[in-house]
């Protein structure tokens, strides 16, 4: 996890440092409603490579936004889900989504 003293002074820069790739945003968006196994998550995010997914999951876990739960059953498996902190991040994602819709509508109106 990032130490507080290592975070940027600007709160916006702090938030952007947590989602410094489009893939992290897609991962957080997918985990918004339920947990995913690794392969399910990979299949649900079109175009992401195994390496990028693995690196992004490790980074998001390290930053405290997602958790990795190991199920030790006959065929053990791992599931990823949002932490309480990650759940709070939904508001950021929803704002990005709403702005994207607004921008697309505004952009289309300007072209007409």
User: Model confidence at 112, in pLDDT bands (50, 70, 90)?
Assistant: low
Considering 34-48, 71-85, 86-100, the range whose residues carry the highest mean pLDDT is: 34-48
Tokens of 97: 């989504």
- What residues contact residue 1 under an 8 Å CB cut-off, 6+ apart? 62, 63, 64
51-76 pLDDT per residue, tens: 999 999 999 999 999 999 998 877 78
The number of angstroms, rounded, from the C-alpha of 19 to the middle of its chain's C-alpha atoms is 7
pLDDT for 18 equals: 87
Q: Where are the domains of the chain?
A: 4-111
Per-residue pLDDT for 111 more than 70? no
Tokens of 81: 């889900």
DSSP structure class, residue 10: S
Instruction: Output the CA angle 42-46-52, nearest 5 degrees.
Output: 55
Instruction: Please say whether the beta carbons of 57 and 36 come within 8 A.
Output: no
Class in CATH terms, 4-111: mainly alpha
Look at residue 14 and tell me whether its pLDDT is greater than 90. Answer: no
Query: Residue 80, SS3?
Result: strand
Report which of residues 6 and 1 the model is more confident about: 6
Torsion sign over Cα 54, 58, 63, 64:
positive
Q: What value does the mean pLDDT take over residues 82-103?
A: 92
Global pTM value: 0.84
């Amino acid at each position: 996890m990032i130490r507080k003293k290592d975070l940027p002074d600007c709160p916006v820069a702090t938030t952007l440092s947590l989602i410094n790739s489009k893939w992290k945003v897609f991962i957080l968006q997918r985990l918004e409603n339920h947990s995913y196994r690794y392969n399910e998550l990979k299949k649900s995010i079109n175009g992401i490579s195994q390496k990028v997914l693995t690196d992004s999951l490790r980074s998001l876990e390290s930053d405290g936004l997602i958790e990795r739960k190991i199920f030790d059953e006959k065929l053990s498996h791992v599931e990823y889900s949002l932490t309480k902190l990650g759940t709070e991040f939904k508001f950021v994602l929803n704002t990005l989504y709403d702005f994207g819709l607004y921008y697309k509508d505004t952009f289309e109106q300007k072209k007409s």
